[in-house]
């Protein structure tokens, strides 16, 4: 589709939207209702959806992950506790990033690269992708926004898509599904023999946030048209706080109260569609206390990870978004107790906790599954508690 036709479609859509009200899209409300009813589906359904499999001599359990709206591909299931931006025009920083403990390295071709350095940065990033030692962090590239100068993002994709080590594309300023269709079309032509790409969609305006459910639905529908597995899938939503504040007139403070609503809403949209939610950047990388508070708050809001702009932020972010040993042990015991009750054909499930007994219900089992999934994705040890529930 030509750029002019894309603009025409966008203009037609914008003119048809009501301007006198601010309401949640019907799809978001539908997703919220579905999410609220999900725990009532019954524990039997959860057993078939999230049954673990035993691998290796250590008896480590891996949990299959099923999203709220259907199972996601393997490409969408990376741990993304920390996503570290690396300027694509800095050879020094690119080399240094190879030592990072971040879950994901994002080679940036957008904001951190001056216009006259775009071409050189693309070549540097391509070399960085192909030379990156494997195994290692997830390799991502933030391209220039397709919603802006399409020629820039087109050149970005022409260079990076053929790389066999590219795993993820971060798409800035996603305002319309055509922004993503453009990438899907390029991926079909340039990645026919490569593994599936993950797409991280960046929310940078109020219009993007309110339209995001429709954008996600459109991406899913577009991918269903292919007779083969899709070349790229939506894997996560990312909250770009500085651009969001600039677009909405919000004044950001360290207390973050002014951003609580959009952050919570974006996390809700992500979860309704089975996507990860990545929280905003802590712009003062020297303020460790503020970073820790932001990260903990993000986890409480349901976020799966956080963006980082400096390597020094990675450790605190990883810690905040990792389950504790105590949480992992409890989750493993809940899962094992539930499995034993299934084997014994028992309806109610009780688990001894200290001096008392807690009853395990469907929401508690889902929370345990989520903790164990995050522990596995983050390469954290999961204790084998099978002997405790063997009899």
- Give catalytic residue positions: 361
Size of the chain, expressed as the number of residues it contains? 391
Q: Rounded distance, CA 243 to CA 249, Å?
A: 10
Contact 259, 252 (CB under 8 A): yes
- Residue 109's nearest CA partner among 162, 169, 165 is 169
Question: What's the DSSP call for residue 200?
Answer: E
Q: Rounded distance, CA 71 to CA 310, Å?
A: 34
Contact 388, 339 (CB under 8 A): no
Q: Rounded distance, CA 344 to CA 250, Å?
A: 56
Is the Cα torsion angle 183, 189, 192, 194 positive or negative in sign? Answer: negative
Enumerate the β-bridge partners of residue 350: 359
Q: Rounded distance, CA 128 to CA 106, Å?
A: 11
Contact 205, 248 (CB under 8 A): yes
Q: Rounded distance, CA 280 to CA 263, Å?
A: 8
Q: Rounded distance, CA 343 to CA 336, Å?
A: 11
Enumerate the β-bridge partners of residue 82: 306
Q: Rounded distance, CA 144 to CA 153, Å?
A: 5
């Amino acid at each position: 589709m030509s750029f002019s036709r894309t603009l025409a479609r966008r203009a037609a859509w914008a003119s048809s939207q009501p301007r006198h009200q601010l309401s949640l899209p019907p799809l978001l409300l539908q997703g919220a209702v579905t999410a609220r009813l999900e725990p009532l589906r019954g524990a039997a359904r959860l057993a078939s959806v999230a049954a673990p499999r035993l691998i290796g001599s250590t008896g480590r359990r891996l949990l299959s992950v099923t999203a709220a709206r259907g199972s996601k591909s393997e490409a969408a299931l990376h741990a993304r506790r920390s996503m570290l931006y690396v300027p694509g025009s800095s050879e020094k920083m690119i080399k240094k990033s190879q030592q990072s403990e971040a879950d994901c390295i994002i080679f940036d071709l957008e904001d951190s690269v001056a216009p006259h350095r775009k071409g050189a940065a693309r070549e540097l990033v391509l070399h960085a992708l192909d030379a990156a030692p494997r195994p290692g962090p997830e390799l991502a590239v933030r391209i220039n926004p397709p919603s802006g100068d399409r020629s820039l993002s087109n050149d970005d994709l022409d260079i990076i898509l053929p790389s066999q080590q590219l795993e993820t594309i971060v798409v800035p300023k996603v305002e319309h599904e055509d922004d993503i269709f453009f990438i899907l079309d390029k991926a079909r032509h340039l990645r026919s023999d490569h593994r599936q790409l993950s797409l991280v969609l960046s929310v940078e305006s109020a219009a993007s946030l309110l339209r995001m459910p429709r954008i996600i639905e459109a991406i899913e529908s577009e991918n269903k048209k292919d007779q083969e597995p899709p070349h790229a899938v939506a894997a996560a939503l990312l909250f770009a706080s500085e651009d969001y504040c600039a677009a909405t007139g919000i004044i950001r403070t360290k207390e973050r109260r002014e951003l609580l609503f959009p952050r919570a809403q974006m996390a809700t949209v992500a979860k309704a569609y089975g996507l990860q939610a990545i929280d905003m950047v802590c712009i003062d990388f020297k303020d460790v206390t503020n970073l820790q508070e932001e990260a903990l708050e993000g986890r409480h809001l349901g976020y799966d990870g956080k963006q980082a702009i400096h390597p020094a932020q990675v450790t605190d972010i990883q810690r905040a978004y990792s389950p504790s040993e105590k949480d992992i042990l409890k989750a493993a015991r809940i899962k094992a107790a539930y499995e034993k009750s299934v084997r014994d054909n028992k309806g109610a499930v009780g688990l001894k906790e200290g001096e008392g007994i807690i009853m395990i219900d469907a929401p508690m089992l889902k929370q345990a599954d989520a903790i164990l999934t995050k522990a596995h994705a983050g390469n954290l040890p999961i204790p084998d508690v099978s002997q405790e529930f063997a009899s």
